[in-house]
Structure 1
């Protein structure tokens, strides 16, 4: 049973450029412009009309956009919940300008061991994450640690939780790595790794959407009975100011927005693509977290029930639950 029929999330790519070269990501390989404030302002107006609640200014590395604080101010004024995920390299430079503008501020950290984290990111950034944590707390911010979990680092959750998260009062977000295109994400999760993530997800100040684990046990999305609702829950906007469908990672078609996002999304051509969400051949086996998270929230099924406890837990900790009502 469908509970919410309108989009709830916008993944707004402010640029595809990045100052890191993560081995499990290929976005940084793409040439890219930067979004303009004028286009963002127009699109925010229509995002609100369409019912969107949360906007994720993403990339690439979003802090490469020198007017990111302006974009965040516009989003906050529109009443949207804002979220940013950064590798921390530029956060100390812009922290003061971003203060109070990010509801969900995530610092990426893939290992409690500096050399291992830096190797996975292709650049030395561990020390910058540590500096960013200290600075954010000094400014009264409440950042989270986003830990991309692989089969090879699942055993490091304990050390990262105890040595970095607990002493700094941070929420640890467990983000199981997902496969897409030809990106090498290593070996698939063993049952032991899935069980360990689930156990940690129940611990204090640790967030894991357990529906992610359930979906992986089920072999991901299946096109004959799709759980993915990417097209109808998530609007993807590119740095070129285009609407990307059915999602960024599949990206079958892009539509120029030209200040008409509301009408464009509701057009027959776009809605025909939306209707194919989770049903295209490339959708078979998909388990991409950034589309499954909102998909689990809009339809009453076993994944909705699996996702509910962690969703309530995180939004209670962060105080964002009131904005979602």
Structure 2
């Protein structure tokens, strides 16, 4: 049963450019412009009309954009919940500009070992993450540690949790890895690993969306009865100022926005493609977290119930729970 008919999240790609070369991502290989303020301002107004509550300023590396602090300030002024994930390379330089503008600030960290983390990211960024944590805490920010879980790094959760998260009162977000397009991210997470993650998810200061586990255990999205509501729960905007459908990872079609996102979203061409969400051949078995999470939020089913406790836990820990009911 659909309980929220409108989109709730915007994945706003401010640039596809990135200063890292992660082996489990291909976005850094794409040429890209940068979003401009005029387009962003127009789009934020329309996103508000469409019912979106959360703006995820993403990339690439979003801190590469010289105006990212202005974008965040505008979104906050308009009442959006703001999120941003960074590899930490530029945060120390931009921390003062960003102070107080990001409701959910995530620092990516996938290993407690400097060399292992830097190798997976393709650049030396471990030390920058550690410095970013120190600076953020001095500024009374409370960043999350976003840990992408692979079969080979599950054992490292304990060290990061006990030595970084607990002492600093930081939330540890466990993000199970997923494959997409031609990007192979390694060995599929085993049942033992999924059970281990479930146990971690019960601990203080750990966020794991329980529905991510349930979805993987049931074989992912199924086109005959899709759980994916990517196109109707999430609006994806590219650096070229295009609406991307049904999601970034498939990117079957792009529509130039031309300063009227609200009108574009109502057109038959867009609505017809939205209706195919989760039903395309490529959607079979999909477990892409960034689209499944909002999908779980808009339709009441077994995954909604699985996601609810962890969602409430995270928003309580972050102090953003009141915004869910506005």
Sort the TM-score into its range (normalised by shorter chain).
over 0.9
- 1:7 alignment partner in structure 2: 7
Rounded to whole Å, the distance in 2 between the matches of 1:143 and 1:224 is 39
Rounded to whole Å, the distance in 2 between the matches of 1:239 and 1:189 is 32
Q: Which structure 2 segments of 5+ residues have no match?
A: none
- In the TM superposition, residue 78 of structure 1 has moved relative to its aligned partner by 1.1
Aligned residue for 1:107, secondary structure, equals strand
Rounded to whole Å, the distance in 1 between the matches of 2:160 and 2:113 is 9
Aligned residue for 2:148, secondary structure, equals strand
Rounded to whole Å, the distance in 1 between the matches of 2:74 and 2:288 is 28
Rounded to whole Å, the distance in 2 between the matches of 1:220 and 1:189 is 13
Aligned residue for 2:157, secondary structure, equals helix
Aligned residue for 1:235, secondary structure, equals strand
- In the TM superposition, residue 156 of structure 1 has moved relative to its aligned partner by 1.0
Q: In the alignment, is the contact (CA less than 8 A) between 1:112 and 1:164 conserved in 2? A: no
Aligned-residue CA RMSD (Å): 0.5
- 2:81 alignment partner in structure 1: 81
Rounded to whole Å, the distance in 2 between the matches of 1:78 and 1:321 is 18
- 2:130 alignment partner in structure 1: 130
Task: Give the stretch that moved more between structures: 245-254 or 178-187.
Answer: 178-187
Residues 232-267 of structure 1: per-residue CA shift (max 9 Å, x gap): 000000000000000000000000001110000111
Q: After TM superposition, what 4+ stretches of structure 1 lie above 3 angstroms from structure 2?
A: none
Q: Which structure 1 segments of 5+ residues have no match?
A: none
State the TM-score, normalizing by the size of structure 1.
Answer: 0.99
- 2:37 alignment partner in structure 1: 37
- In the TM superposition, residue 182 of structure 1 has moved relative to its aligned partner by 1.2
- In the TM superposition, residue 144 of structure 1 has moved relative to its aligned partner by 0.3
Rounded to whole Å, the distance in 1 between the matches of 2:181 and 2:230 is 17
How many residues are aligned here? 325
Residues 38-59 of structure 1: per-residue CA shift (max 9 Å, x gap): 1000000000000000000000
